[in-house]
A and B are shown apart, each in its own frame.
Chain A
Amino acid sequence: MGTMQGKLESIRESMMKELDSVDSSESLQVLRVRYLGKKGLLTQMLRSLGNLPPEERPAAGQSLNELRREFEAALEGRQRLISIAEDEAREASDLVDVTLPPRGRGWGGFHPVVQTMNEIIDIFVGMGFSVAYGPEIEDDFHNFEALNIPPHHPARDMQDTFYLDNGRLLRTHTSPVEVRAMLKWGAPLRIIVPGKVYRRDSDQTHSPMFHQLEGLLIDEDVSLADLKGCLNTFVGAIFGRPLDSRFRASYFPFTEPSLEMDVECFACSGRNPSCRICKGTGWLEILGCGMTHPNVLRYGGIDPDRYNGFAWGMGPDRVAMLKYGLTDLRVLFEGHGSFLTGGGY
C-alpha cells in the first residue's frame, strides 16, 4: 500500500513537472497520450490493479482515479492557456492593413436633381398631395389652349417651344397635367406633378430640358392664404428651417391672381451685399404660383362658381443648384463622373 502511494506520488510529480514545460497544443497532446493514452502510464496502472491483493484494490483504484481526474483537469487548464497564446500569435501574424483599398463595388452616386425631386415629392406627399403624371409629348390644346394661352398670344413668347414632326410639341411646363388630372379625377383635387419639360433655350442658367414640379389644389373656398401656408411649409421643410418669404405680383395666363414667391436667402439672409447665392438682393426666386384661372377650371370640366384652387410650378433643378451650391445648369445633364462622384477638382 505504501509503495503504491509512493509510486503515485512520484508519477504525479513528474506529470506536473512535464506539464509545466509544455508550450504547444502538439506537445500537450503527446503528454496526454503518454499518461492517458491506451498505452499510457496511468491506463496501464489501472489495468494492473488486478495484480494487487483484493483488499488493496479499492483504495489503490480510488487513488489512481483521483490522480487521473486531477491530471485531466490540469491538462484542460493548460490547453486553455496554450490556445489563447496560440490564437494571439496566429492573429498577430494574420495582420490585414485595414487602410488598404477595399475589394468589390463601392457605392455609386445619386444625381442631385433626382434626389432633390424625391425630397420635394416627400414633403408634399406628407402634406397630403398625391403624385400624378402626364405625357412629355403634348398637343397644343393641353400645353397652351386649355391653360388660357390662345394661339399667337404673346405669353407664348415666354416659353419657346420645341415642335415635333408629327405636329405635336414637347411640353413647356408640367401644367398640361393639371387639365388632364381635372378631367380624370374632377374636384376636389390635390396633386403634384413632377417631370421633365422642354424649352428652346440654352445657356448657363437655361437648359433645353429641365425639371418642374407642379402642384394643384382644388376645393370649395380656397384662398391665397391656403396657397401661402402650403408653400411656406414646403420652403421650411426643403431648406431645413423656416425662411422668410415674400409674394410678388406677377403674370401667368393660367392663374389669376398670379404671384412669384421669393424666399429669404438661406446663405446670407440678406445680410451680405456681395452674396453669391442671392446676388446681394437677400431674396431667391423660387417659384411661380397663383389661383387657378376660371377658364382653366372650365377646360378641366370643373365649375368655377363652386370650386376654385391654387397651383404652383417650381424648378427642382434650381432648388438642387441652391442646395448643392451649383452654378452651371447644363452640367447636370452631361453625366460627368468627376461631378457625380464628387471626385472633381
Chain B
Amino acid sequence: MRISWKWLNEFCKIPLSPEEAAERLTLTGCEVESIERPCSALKGLIVGRIEKLRVHPERADLFVAELDLGGPRAQCVTAARNLKEGDFVPYGAPGSAIADGTVLGKREFDSVTSVGMMLSAEEIGLPWIAEEFGILRLPRALVPGEDLVKALGLDDCILEISITPNRGDLLSLMGLARECHGVIPGAVLERKELRPPQVGNQGTVAWDGLTLEDPGCPLYGLSFAPSVKIEPSPLETRIRLAFSGVRSINNIVDATNAVMLITGQPLHAFDLDRLPAREITVRGASEGERFRTLDGKEHVLADGDLLITSGGVPVALAGIMGGENSEITPETKSVAFESAFFEPLRVSRTARRLGMGTEASYRFSRGVDPSRVLPTLSCLAEFLWKETSQRVEEKVRVVSTRTWDNRRITLTRRKMHRILLWDDLDKASELLQRLDLREISGTAEERLFEIPTSRADLSIEEDLIEEVGRLKGYESVPSRIPPLLHGTGRVGEEVEAHRRIRVAAMSRGYLEIVTYSFINPRWVEWLRIPETDPRSRGFRLTNPISQDQSLMRTTLLPGLLQALQTNLRSGWKDPIRLFEVGRVFLPGIEGEEHREILRMAGISWNGKERRLLHETCLKDDVLSLKADVLALCGSRGRTPGFSSGLEPFGHAGQTAQVTLEGKPCGYLTSIKPGILRELEIPAPVFAFELDIEPLLPEKGFRFGQVVRYPAVYRDISLIAPVGKPVASIEEDIRALGGDLLRGLVLFDLYQGTGIPDGTRSLAYSLAYGDPSRTLRDEEVDAIHDTLRRELAEKGYVLR
C-alpha cells in the first residue's frame, strides 16, 4: 500500500522523520518496503499567471505567453493549445530543474526568446494527474510567484508499506494513524471521529427498498446525490490519489476512492438513472450466471458469489467491482452510493476464483470495520461537498441483519510472563490503550480489554500478548537456551543414509544435483514407459506454471537426462556423471492415496569428440557403474545382487535388475540408443536408480576372520555357453568346491577362435584355505581334482 506521508500526518502527527518512522513501523510489523520522493528533482519552480497570450509572429503552431510571476515577468513560448489568458501554470525560470533533472534555460524560437518554460504534469513528475494534454493548469487560488512544490504539496514522500493479511484495519489512513499512535511514542492522534449519518426514508429520491437475501451481506447502506455534475477532481485530490497509487477518473469516483483511503471502507457509486429499478437486493449468484463488470470483462459466476441486483438484474459483484450497466459516465446526473459489509471469506473466494484483486476486494477480503460502514457515507458527503461542491442527501437508507459487539479479552499476568518473561500489567495496559484497546476492569493478576470492531484479528489472549510484545519491542526479551534442549538429538536413518551415499557418489566422481519434482509429461513417452507400468501413472498438477513442469516424477531419470541435455546444449564436452537423491511419487497400492519413495539415481556420459589422455581407461560402461552401485550400497554395509533385467528405456542386452536381500530395488542399465537419439544425447549413457529404503536400517557390518595361514592357489579354466551368467557358474564352483574353497577370482574371459561358437572360456584363480592350519599340496590337489571332475559331470568343458 502506498501512503502519502503528508496525508498520514493529517491524521496523526508523527514526531519522527519518514525514515525513522519507517524503521519503527517495520520493527513492529508493518514492513515499509521503500520511501519514494517522486518530485525530489524539482528545483526552483514557481506559480505563474498568463497575462497575455498571442500567436507567435512567425509560426502559427506556437504561442507566446507573458507571465506574471508575482512581480517579475517572463516571456515563454509553448506549443500547448490548452491555455488561455488568466490561467495559472507551473513555471521554471532559467536555472531551475524539472522532474527528470533537466536544467532549464533560455531558448530562441524564430526570433522570439523563451525565458524558462511553462510545464506539463509530466515535467513536474506526475504524468497521471493530467486532465488534458498540454501545460498543467493550476487552481486559481494560488498566488503568482509562489513556490510550486510548497503550493501543491509536492515535497511529500510515499511510504510503500506491506500490510500482513491479518491487519485489514491498516488499509486506511485512519487505521494506520492509530497504529502509528500505538507504536511511535509521542505521536498525536488528530481525532477525526466519523459522524454516523442520519438514517431515514425521507428524501427527494423515490426509493422502493433494500433487501438482503444472503447472509453474506449483513449490513447495507445507500445514500443519494440526486443532482451531480461530473467533472475532473480538483488538482489537490488528483495529486493525493496519484501519490496513493490510485488513478483519477472523475470527481464522483475519485471521492469514493479518496474516502476509502481515509476510512478503509470501500464504496461504490451507481448511476441512479441507469439502475434498472429503484430497488436493490443482495443475493447469491446462481451457478453459471453471467455478469459484465465495468472493466468490460464478462464473468461466469458460481454458487456462493454475492451479487448486488436491481429489479432482478445484477448491477455489481459485491465487494469486488460494479457492473458496466450502471457505472458512472460523463453524462451521469444522479448517483447512489453504496457502503456495505460483505463477509470476508465470500469476497475472498470469488475474487480469488475470478482473479479479480481490486482495492475493494482486497479490503473486504481482509475484513472492513462494520462500525465504519455507515459513518463512511457521512465522510463521503462531507468530502464531496468540501472538495467539489456536490451535495449528497443527508438521509441514508440502511438495512441490516446483524449487530456487532465489541469483543472482550482478558490479559493475565501469568500467561504474559510465560511468553514474554515480563509481567508488568500496568505498563502493558498503557501500551495497549494507545492502540484504542480500552481496559475496562482489572486486578493485579488480570485485565479485561474491550476490542474495537476494527481489530478483527484480536480474538485470544495470545493476540494481546503479541500486541504488548511488539509495542514493547522484542529486543527487550532476553535470549536463553530452552531447558528441553539437553543432550543431542537424532539425525535419523534417512539423513544418515543419504549422507553416506552422497559422499560415496561424490568420491566416485559424481556431481550431486537437485532437479524439480515435476517434469514434462512427455517423458513417459520419451522413455517408452508402457501404460501397464505404474511409472506411467504419475500425478498431474492441475495448475502448473508450464507444461514442462506438470507431472510429478515417477522416476529420477528424466531430471538427470534433462540436466545432461542442458549441459550438452551449453556446449559441455567432458565426461560427466550426475547423481540425485530425491523422492518419486507413485500411485498408491492397497488403499493408500499415493506413495512417496526416496530414491538415488545416477547417470554417466563419456564425453564428446574430446581427445583425452588416459582416455581408454576413463570410459564408463555398465560394469563400471556396477562398481559404483556396489560402492554406494557398500557405504551402508550392503551388497546388492545383479541379474539380467528389463527396463522399457534400457538397452535389451545391457540391463540389470538390482536386488537387496533378494528383493528388487532398482535397475542398472545403458539407455536405449534410440531414446538417446531422440533426446539428442550422443550414446552411450549409463544409468542406475535404486530405492534407498532398503538401505535405511543401520546394519552392523560383519567383519571377516583374520587369515593367519596362507591360502593355496590353483587355477581352473572352463568353457561354458555364452548364455550362462557368470554368477551361476561361480555359484556352481562354490557349491562344488566345498568349505575349504575360500575365494575365486575370474582372471580371463575369452570368446572366439579356438573354442566352439556360442561358448566362452573362463579362467579362475581359486584360493583354498583353512582358518586353523596350512593346507598341504596333496590335500589341495585332491580337492581340486574332485572339483574338476564334478564340474565336468555338470557339463562344463574343462581345459
Q: Nearest residue in A to B347 (C-beta to C-beta)? A: A152
The reply to whether B613 and A249 form a contact with Cβ atoms under 8 Å apart is: no
The reply to whether A337 and B567 form a contact with Cβ atoms under 8 Å apart is: yes
Partner of B491, one of A106, A125, A335: A125
Provide the bound-state CA to CA distance between A137 and B592, in Å: 12
> Does A230 reach chain B (CB closer than 8 Å)?
yes
A:296-344 near B, CB below 8 Å: 308, 332-338, 340-341
Q: In the complex, what's the smallest C-beta–C-beta distance from A313 to chain B, in angstroms?
A: 16
> Does A145 reach chain B (CB closer than 8 Å)?
no
A150 — which chain B residues lie within 8 A by C-beta? 345
The reply to whether A230 and B29 form a contact with Cβ atoms under 8 Å apart is: no
The reply to whether B545 and A249 form a contact with Cβ atoms under 8 Å apart is: no
The reply to whether B585 and A229 form a contact with Cβ atoms under 8 Å apart is: no
A:72-129 near B, CB below 8 Å: 100-101, 103-111, 113-114, 118, 121-122, 124-129
The reply to whether A225 and B485 form a contact with Cβ atoms under 8 Å apart is: no
Q: In the complex, what's the smallest C-beta–C-beta distance from A324 to chain B, in angstroms?
A: 14
Q: Nearest residue in A to B167 (C-beta to C-beta)? A: A251
Q: In the complex, what's the smallest C-beta–C-beta distance from B11 to chain A, in angstroms?
A: 22
Provide the bound-state CA to CA distance between A190 and B491, in Å: 12
Query: Given A108-B507, A137-B594, A251-B164 in contact, is the A230-B578 Cβ separation under 8 Å?
Result: no
Query: Given A246-B475, A251-B165, A340-B512 in contact, is the A125-B549 Cβ separation under 8 Å?
Result: no
B234 — which chain A residues lie within 8 A by C-beta? none
Which of A24-32, A53-61, A196-204 faces chain B?
A196-204
> Does A248 reach chain B (CB closer than 8 Å)?
yes
Partner of B514, one of A113, A137, A217: A113
Provide the bound-state CA to CA distance between A113 and B502, in Å: 13
Query: Given A150-B345, A158-B165 in contact, is the A188-B481 Cβ separation under 8 Å?
Result: no
A:274-289 near B, CB below 8 Å: none
The reply to whether B474 and A249 form a contact with Cβ atoms under 8 Å apart is: yes
Question: B493-515 toward A: CB 8 Å interface, digit per residue (1/0)?
Answer: 01100010010011111111111
> Does A155 reach chain B (CB closer than 8 Å)?
yes
The reply to whether A225 and B477 form a contact with Cβ atoms under 8 Å apart is: yes
> Does B249 reach chain A (CB closer than 8 Å)?
no
> Does B470 reach chain A (CB closer than 8 Å)?
yes
> Does B532 reach chain A (CB closer than 8 Å)?
no
Q: Nearest residue in B to A125 (C-beta to C-beta)? A: B489
Which of B193-201, B439-447, B461-469, B765-773 faces chain A?
B461-469
B559 — which chain A residues lie within 8 A by C-beta? 335
The reply to whether A251 and B474 form a contact with Cβ atoms under 8 Å apart is: no
The reply to whether B566 and A224 form a contact with Cβ atoms under 8 Å apart is: no
The reply to whether B512 and A110 form a contact with Cβ atoms under 8 Å apart is: yes
The reply to whether B488 and A126 form a contact with Cβ atoms under 8 Å apart is: yes
The reply to whether A188 and B470 form a contact with Cβ atoms under 8 Å apart is: no
Query: Given A110-B502, A196-B517 in contact, is the A247-B475 Cβ separation under 8 Å?
Result: yes
B502 — which chain A residues lie within 8 A by C-beta? 110, 114
The reply to whether A111 and B27 form a contact with Cβ atoms under 8 Å apart is: no
> Does B352 reach chain A (CB closer than 8 Å)?
yes
The reply to whether A108 and B579 form a contact with Cβ atoms under 8 Å apart is: yes
The reply to whether A225 and B494 form a contact with Cβ atoms under 8 Å apart is: no
Provide the bound-state CA to CA distance between A230 and B486, in Å: 12
A188 — which chain B residues lie within 8 A by C-beta? 484
A128 — which chain B residues lie within 8 A by C-beta? 484-489
B29 — which chain A residues lie within 8 A by C-beta? 248-251
> Does A181 reach chain B (CB closer than 8 Å)?
no
The reply to whether A223 and B418 form a contact with Cβ atoms under 8 Å apart is: yes
Query: Given A209-B518, A257-B470 in contact, is the A108-B542 Cβ separation under 8 Å?
Result: no
Provide the bound-state CA to CA distance between A336 and B567, in Å: 6
> Does B617 reach chain A (CB closer than 8 Å)?
yes
> Does B419 reach chain A (CB closer than 8 Å)?
yes
Query: Given A108-B512, A128-B488 in contact, is the A258-B572 Cβ separation under 8 Å?
Result: no
Partner of A105, one of B349, B509, B541: B509
Which of A9-17, A35-43, A62-70, A164-172 faces chain B?
A164-172
Query: Given A103-B614, A164-B552 in contact, is the A249-B469 Cβ separation under 8 Å?
Result: yes
Number of chain A residues close to chain B: CB under 8 A: 92
The reply to whether A249 and B349 form a contact with Cβ atoms under 8 Å apart is: no
The reply to whether B165 and A154 form a contact with Cβ atoms under 8 Å apart is: yes
B495 — which chain A residues lie within 8 A by C-beta? 118, 121, 131, 194
Provide the bound-state CA to CA distance between A253 and B484, in Å: 25
Query: Given A105-B618, A248-B29, A335-B578 in contact, is the A190-B570 Cβ separation under 8 Å?
Result: no
Q: In the complex, what's the smallest C-beta–C-beta distance from B217 to chain A, in angstroms?
A: 16
A225 — which chain B residues lie within 8 A by C-beta? 421, 477-480
Q: Name the residue among B166, B513, B514 with the largest chain A CB count within 10 angstroms.
A: B514
The reply to whether B488 and A198 form a contact with Cβ atoms under 8 Å apart is: no
Provide the bound-state CA to CA distance between A103 and B549, in Å: 40
Range for the number of chain B residues in contact with chain A = 35 or more
Q: Nearest residue in A to B614 (C-beta to C-beta)? A: A103
Q: Name the residue among B165, B349, B564 with the largest chain A CB count within 10 angstroms.
A: B165
A147 — which chain B residues lie within 8 A by C-beta? none
Partner of A163, one of B419, B481, B543: B543
The reply to whether A153 and B348 form a contact with Cβ atoms under 8 Å apart is: yes
Query: Given A100-B613, A338-B572 in contact, is the A111-B545 Cβ separation under 8 Å?
Result: no
Query: Given A108-B507, A130-B490, A219-B483 in contact, is the A164-B539 Cβ separation under 8 Å?
Result: yes
Q: In the complex, what's the smallest C-beta–C-beta distance from A190 to chain B, in angstroms?
A: 6
Provide the bound-state CA to CA distance between A129 and B543, in Å: 36
The reply to whether B513 and A151 form a contact with Cβ atoms under 8 Å apart is: no
The reply to whether B513 and A111 form a contact with Cβ atoms under 8 Å apart is: yes
B477 — which chain A residues lie within 8 A by C-beta? 223-225, 228, 247
The reply to whether A340 and B513 form a contact with Cβ atoms under 8 Å apart is: yes
Q: Name the residue among B420, B474, B505, B576 with the largest chain A CB count within 10 angstroms.
A: B474
Provide the bound-state CA to CA distance between A127 and B583, in Å: 28
B516 — which chain A residues lie within 8 A by C-beta? 208-209, 333
> Does B540 reach chain A (CB closer than 8 Å)?
yes
Q: In the complex, what's the smallest C-beta–C-beta distance from A195 to chain B, in angstroms?
A: 9
> Does A293 reach chain B (CB closer than 8 Å)?
yes
> Does B344 reach chain A (CB closer than 8 Å)?
yes
B165 — which chain A residues lie within 8 A by C-beta? 153-155, 157-158, 251
The reply to whether B543 and A121 form a contact with Cβ atoms under 8 Å apart is: no
> Does B334 reach chain A (CB closer than 8 Å)?
no
> Does B758 reach chain A (CB closer than 8 Å)?
no
> Does B28 reach chain A (CB closer than 8 Å)?
yes
The reply to whether B421 and A335 form a contact with Cβ atoms under 8 Å apart is: no
> Does B105 reach chain A (CB closer than 8 Å)?
no
> Does A50 reach chain B (CB closer than 8 Å)?
no
> Does B680 reach chain A (CB closer than 8 Å)?
no
B:520-556 near A, CB below 8 Å: 539-545, 549, 552
Provide the bound-state CA to CA distance between A217 and B585, in Å: 30
The reply to whether A154 and B543 form a contact with Cβ atoms under 8 Å apart is: no
> Does A291 reach chain B (CB closer than 8 Å)?
yes
> Does B366 reach chain A (CB closer than 8 Å)?
yes
The reply to whether B487 and A152 form a contact with Cβ atoms under 8 Å apart is: no
> Does B31 reach chain A (CB closer than 8 Å)?
yes
Q: Name the residue among B513, B566, B613 with the largest chain A CB count within 10 angstroms.
A: B513
The reply to whether A224 and B506 form a contact with Cβ atoms under 8 Å apart is: no
The reply to whether B164 and A224 form a contact with Cβ atoms under 8 Å apart is: no
Q: List 21 A-B contacts (CB under 8 A).
A: A110-B512, A129-B489, A130-B492, A132-B492, A133-B494, A137-B539, A137-B596, A153-B165, A156-B352, A157-B165, A162-B541, A164-B542, A168-B593, A202-B545, A208-B549, A223-B420, A228-B480, A247-B477, A258-B466, A335-B563, A337-B567
The 9 A-B residue pairs whose C-beta atoms are closest, nearest first, are: A335-B563, A249-B29, A257-B466, A251-B164, A105-B509, A249-B470, A128-B485, A226-B482, A130-B489
**Residue positions of A touching B, CB distance < 8 A:** 100-101, 103-111, 113-114, 118, 121-122, 124-133, 135-137, 150-158, 162-166, 168, 170, 188, 190, 192, 194, 196, 198, 200, 202, 208-209, 217, 219, 221-226, 228-230, 232-233, 246-251, 253, 256-259, 291, 293-294, 308, 332-338, 340-341
Given contacts A103-B617, A131-B489, A152-B349, 13 further A-B contacts (CB under 8 A): A104-B618, A108-B509, A121-B491, A124-B489, A125-B490, A126-B488, A155-B166, A158-B165, A225-B477, A248-B474, A256-B466, A259-B474, A336-B570
